[in-house]
Amino acid sequence: MHYADGRSTACEDVLPSQVAGCTDLNTTAFLYRVFRAEDPDLVVFTGDNIYGADSTDAAKSMDAAIAPAIDMKLPWAAVIGNHDQEGTLSREGVMRHLVGMKNTLASFNPEGIEIDGYGNYNLEVSGVEGTSMDEKSVLNLYFLDSGDYSTVPSINGYGWIKASQQVWFQQTSSSLQAKYMNKNPKQKEPAPGLVFFHIPLPEFSSFTASNFTGVKQEGISSASINSGFFASMVEAGDVRAAFVGHDHINDFCGKLSGIQLCYAGGFGYHAYGKAGWSRRARVLSVQLEKTDSGEWRGVKSIKTWKRLDDKHLSTIDSEVLWNRGSNGRRGKNPDGS
């Protein structure tokens, strides 16, 4: 969102006809439009929620940026990007502020372990109340701090997800899968996992226009080294998609090694963009399986589309990210093993 000081903060990269009167409040208005149209069960803010350098008071800017979700009493979660801390709050201060806000499901960090960054946490979505799945997490959401800028003198560029975070992620995933698959009623494959962080992984560069949905209009601004988090997600075995921000005029999803890697496209009006190319938001829709006897089970499919801040709040690029049974089942070896 790159929110700063509200009414006094001008828009960037809009058409000449849109410049007059265009401010951070256009970002706020777009949030309300999307929330009213989609009525989401959860809102995720994927970092650079505020543009710290242009905000007079980072805490007030964050309050204003998130305000529509709180006003509409929507549960929300957030990670931080590389610009949130460039104002009056440190990275730690920004995350502490976020976790103290109303209706938030965000956490500061897991308790009792040493971990890099701020805002590494997970959320469990339980099955339908009164069914055999009501004590299981049927959908797992992982949130990580992808850092801001490299802290290693010999390495330039953006930050990355560190080893301590990957260990926490793998242990959390493993423990959730064990509960889901081994405790009655036992499940054949893990509950799907979705991962949210700000800075894209180097693997986002793996796609060409022929194998993704959406557009790529700028380079992939990942860290200059590969810290191995994509391999960690593949090895974990439950991750079906990862969602990032950072590169505002990319909005594609592409599938690599069974995982959908997705941008959402820039949302905020004080963020760089492309004049005439609408600001946008990604929507996720998760469907549960229903048995012939009418009982709700685990997740059956995950779909996505984007909403544009144009005249009609257009819906574009609807696609299925994952269907149960379509992913991760290994075929037999030639010897039948």
Exposure string over 154-178, b if 16+ CB within 10 A, otherwise e: eeeebbbbbeebbebbeebbeebbe
| CATH 3.60.21 describes domain 6-323 | yes
Amino acid found at 56: T
Domain boundaries, the chain: 6-323
Say whether pLDDT at 334 is over 50.
Answer: no
Instruction: List pLDDT tens digits, range 56-85.
Output: 999 999 999 999 999 999 999 999 999 999
Model pLDDT, residue 184: 87
Distance (Å, whole) CA 59 – CA 50: 9
Q: Is the peptide bond before 192 cis (omega within 30 degrees of 0)?
A: no
Percent of the chain with pLDDT over 70: 96
Please give the average per-residue pLDDT across 224-239, as a whole number. Answer: 98
The rounded Cα 285 to chain-centroid distance in angstroms is 14
How distant, in Å, are the alpha carbons of 73, 212, 266, 271, 309 from that of 279? 24, 20, 6, 10, 6
Distance (Å, whole) CA 14 – CA 17: 8
Distance (Å, whole) CA 204 – CA 206: 5
